[in-house]
Amino acid sequence: MQIDPSHPRFKSLKIREKLVWGIKKGLTHPAGLLAHGRGEAFDYLLGEKTHDFAKKAIEAAGAYLISAKNPIISVNGNTSALCPNELVGLAKLLNCKIEVNLFHYSKKRVVIIENYLSRVDSKVILRSNKSSKIIFPDIASWRKIMLKEGIASADVVFVPLEDGDRAEALIRLGKKVITVDLNPLSRTAQTATVTIIDNLIRLLPLLIKKIKKLKMVDADNLKSLTINYNNKTCLNNSLKLISDRLKKSG
């Protein structure tokens, strides 16, 4: 579909078309469109901007990822279709791997996503057919399938567009969970160590830029950034912003 750049919803429509293209290619599950629409609604409420509370979360996320002994990036169909270059760029910057982990699981779709991301750089992609799988029984969805060399052994997990049950399980396992969620009331947002309330497409370039700067910061200052970060405060600030905007529009 050709979208006129002058259309007032050009950016939003372009994102939707990427996801539709992802379905045709086998990357994205149709249910991913519903999940995207839910997030898009919250983005409207946020004014489709990256706010200060998101920037604070991005800084804390960067500090956690740099300080991690074994960070991992977990991706699903939507994230892979929307931001392949940025996700691979982030993995290379952190010298870590990317693991495909799906709610609507099929071996075929996992391989399709792995192959698609490998076109950008195959060295950072964990291959499910070459890795040992671990099943976590307390996760209700197919996201319970994790790779031993990836999420299972990671201390910090970056999981944009995450599911609440797995976020809770990862926290119980003692891992730090960094997530991206436009809905500050979601179980994932409320559970994660760091929740970035922002659009994935907007924040990934900002996160990469921030990590490049934080790599020049010493370990003590990085630690202070994580210790002084309060996720509940950021969530509350995002809710206040949404509430204020609704009051003004009324």
The pTM of this model reads 0.93
Using the structure block, give the residue that is written with the tokens 């992609």: 125
* Spatial separation of the C-alpha atoms in residues 106 and 153, rounded to whole Å: 23
Rounded to a whole number of angstroms, the distance between the first and last alpha carbons of the chain is 35
**Spans of all domains in the chain:** 52-249
Of 135-149, 189-203, 207-221, the one with minimum mean pLDDT is 135-149
Taking only the tens place, the pLDDT of each residue in 128-176 is 887 788 888 778 788 888 899 999 999 999 999 777 788 888 999 999 9
Of 12-16, 55-59, 233-237, the one with minimum mean pLDDT is 12-16
Classify domain 52-249 at the CATH class level. Answer: alpha beta
At residue 9 the predicted structure's pLDDT band, cuts being 50, 70 and 90, is low
| Selected residue with higher pLDDT from 9 and 104 | 104
Taking only the tens place, the pLDDT of each residue in 58-77 is 999 999 999 999 999 999 99
Q: Which of 197, 167, 189, 183 is nearest to 58 (CA)?
A: 197
At residue 226 the predicted structure's pLDDT band, cuts being 50, 70 and 90, is very high
At residue 6 the predicted structure's pLDDT band, cuts being 50, 70 and 90, is low
Whether the CB-CB separation of 39 and 33 falls below 8 Å is answered with no
Position 136 scores a pLDDT of: 82
Q: What is the mean pLDDT of the chain?
A: 91
* Spatial separation of the C-alpha atoms in residues 12 and 245, rounded to whole Å: 20
What tokens were used for 34? 């519903």
Of 23-37, 59-73, 187-201, the one with minimum mean pLDDT is 23-37
Judge whether residue 2 has pLDDT over 90.
no
